[in-house]
Chains A and B, each alone.
Chain A
Amino acid sequence: MSIIREHTQATLSDAWRTINIDALQEDSSVNFDTATLHPPQPEISEGDARQIQSQVRQLLRGGDAEGALRGCLETPVYNGGELARETHLQTVIEVLQSIKASEMTPMLQRIYSSPGGSECLDVLMKYLYKGMAGSSSSSAGSAPRTPSRMTPQPTGFSQVGARPGAPAESTGAAMSVLLSWHEKVVEVAGLGCIGRVMTDWRRV
């Protein structure tokens, strides 16, 4: 009787469940760098990201919004420093803000039906989510500014983040731009696009 009780007591306690048995196995996933499963991505430095930014701005000034959008979606920063990533996010958002609502859907449809277009819209979706995450996480934060107030600064983006009390309405405006793009991208590329963003190991 007592043995049975002791036994039940021992098994009822679930302390053994907290033992991380994976750590004890040498070929388990925690003892293995999962990054080696994927082919490496080309590294993009901050300088490269700035160069892309200026090229894209040039296209925008020339009135080729679609070319600008394609240009920045074809060179996502998968492997790069924080600054390079932020710079590219800013580039994408600048382009998105400069495109009129009525032009969104036809432009997305043209991109989607062109070769490699599905991939481009997946990248766009990644930047939309990154933009939303950025502008909600810190109130001052990485709220993307409108192109009209853009002043080229050597330290650029991070300096804005440091400024206290950035205007809240610009965060809201940026978010509404991102949300309306999100809606249009889902219309064109379907729910599969969201699924791909969630499964993809290449983060922007």
Chain B
Amino acid sequence: MAAPEVHHLFHAPIADHSFSADRKTLAIARDTTVELYGRVGNAFKLKDELKGHDKTVTSIDIAPNSGRIVSCSQDRNALVWEPTPQGYKPTLVLLRINRAATFVRWSPSETKFAVGSGDRLIAVCYFEEENDWWVSKHLKKPIRSTVTTLAWHPNSVLLAAGSTDAHARVFSSFIKGVDARPEPTAWGERLPFNTVCGEYMNNSAGWIHSVAFSPSGDALAFAAHDSSITVVYPNAPEQPPKAVVSINTQLLPFMSLIWNGEDEIIAAGYDCEAFRFRGGSEGWQLTGALEAKGRPGLGDQREESALNMFRQMDLKGKVKDDTQLKTVHQNTITTIRPYETSGPSVRQFSSSGVDGRVVIWTV
């Protein structure tokens, strides 16, 4: 396995990160600004700062084809940043929420995006040509608490949401005039706006931190604060799912997960490293950490002389300097995203976390 590519950008938490399609631009949510980094050789250099929010930016996403950036913040606003020759031009989106916006993602069709919020709703936003602005429709019905995470189905109509009421739900976000009528799937056939196609929770019911559809869209995985991962295989519309597989782990909770093909999930979180799960509808298993520990050059493997040992004992009261974690990330990983894919499988993925690092991993 190739060594991970580590970019230590600054000493502050990264709320979210997103690469452009050509992977030359990296957008980072840092405090109240969106920072754009450009690739210069092997490093990323700060290129531009997008200022428009006046509270912490919670999430960002770059649309791969149009290059538009959407950001959302605790100031209850979302901004769409349009690339122009003069730089990025912000457009305010009418979200109509009165709590923080927590999470934003473009739909695969890039005609819509969804914003989760602390107002117990999801704003599905689309561009209205005649008025020349972004408007939103609210998905509200059974949500009982803050929406923490969202994921789009490949058909751009179904939307999965995880929230702090411990439920992962699948909604239809069909908007007339924007979406083409979707092909029927195992989740549902007729899908008017705000159809609840599924509502799932696991036994010990932790907050949901992350949701993801499998590449085919026929399975849904979610990670919760009870250190578990649950995978749901739907059967047919209006029927109980074919299988719900829940794996409780011995680890700390996962904050983010992605699918690699239909039979592998990569998840990372409070343990500061990524783990691999393998399985299918008959069962899933944790197969181990992605990171090879004890690589040469990791940490300080310098020779310990007796003098040094006693000096350390005298100065610090201990022999070993254990202020460094053995993992590449030195704090919680908050987001992982596919970086390079080939079809349904992920070749490389990127992770960012509270330690201000963005790391690109080879699977």
Contacts and interface: CB of A to CB of B under 8 A. Distances in A.
B78 to A, nearest CB: 22
A199 B248 contact: no
Contacts of A37: 144, 165-167, 201
B163 to A, nearest CB: 10
Contacts of A201: 166, 204-205
Contacts of A97: none
Contact of A190 (B201, B205, B249): B249
Contacts of B353: none
B248 A192 contact: yes
Contacts of A200: 203-206, 226
Nearest to A191: B252
A23 to B, nearest CB: 15
Contacts of A34: 144, 165
A201 B226 CA distance: 11
Contacts of A199: 166, 204-207, 224-226
A66 interface: no
25 contacts: A29-B144, A29-B145, A37-B144, A37-B201, A118-B248, A189-B250, A190-B227, A190-B250, A192-B226, A192-B251, A193-B250, A195-B206, A195-B252, A195-B253, A196-B206, A196-B227, A196-B228, A199-B224, A199-B225, A200-B203, A200-B204, A200-B205, A200-B226, A201-B204, A201-B205
Interface in B166-207: 166-167, 201, 203-207
Contacts of B248: 118-119, 122, 192, 196
Interface in A158-198: 189-193, 195-196
B276 interface: no
Nearest to B164: A29
Looking at chain B's contact residues, is the secondary structure mostly helix, strand, loop, or mixed?
loop
Nearest to B121: A27
A5 interface: no
A196 B120 CA distance: 24
A91 to B, nearest CB: 22
B225 A192 contact: no
Closest 6 CB pairs of A and B: A190-B250, A192-B227, A199-B206, A200-B204, A196-B226, A118-B248
Contacts of B205: 38, 199-201
Interface in A1-49: 27-29, 32, 34, 37-38
B16 to A, nearest CB: 24
A202 interface: yes
Given A37-B166, A199-B166, 15 more contacts: A37-B167, A38-B205, A190-B227, A191-B250, A192-B226, A192-B248, A195-B206, A195-B226, A195-B253, A196-B204, A199-B205, A199-B224, A200-B204, A200-B205, A201-B205
A100 to B, nearest CB: 25
Interface in B234-258: 248-253
A193 B224 CA distance: 13
B255 to A, nearest CB: 13
A117 to B, nearest CB: 10
A192 B249 contact: yes
Interface in B114-171: 120, 144-145, 165-167
B250 A195 contact: no
Contacts of A196: 204, 206, 226-228, 248
B120 to A, nearest CB: 7
Contacts of B201: 37-38
B168 to A, nearest CB: 13
Nearest to B251: A192
B144 A32 contact: yes
Nearest to B206: A199
Nearest to A200: B204
Contacts of A192: 226-228, 248-253
Contacts of B227: 190-192, 195-196
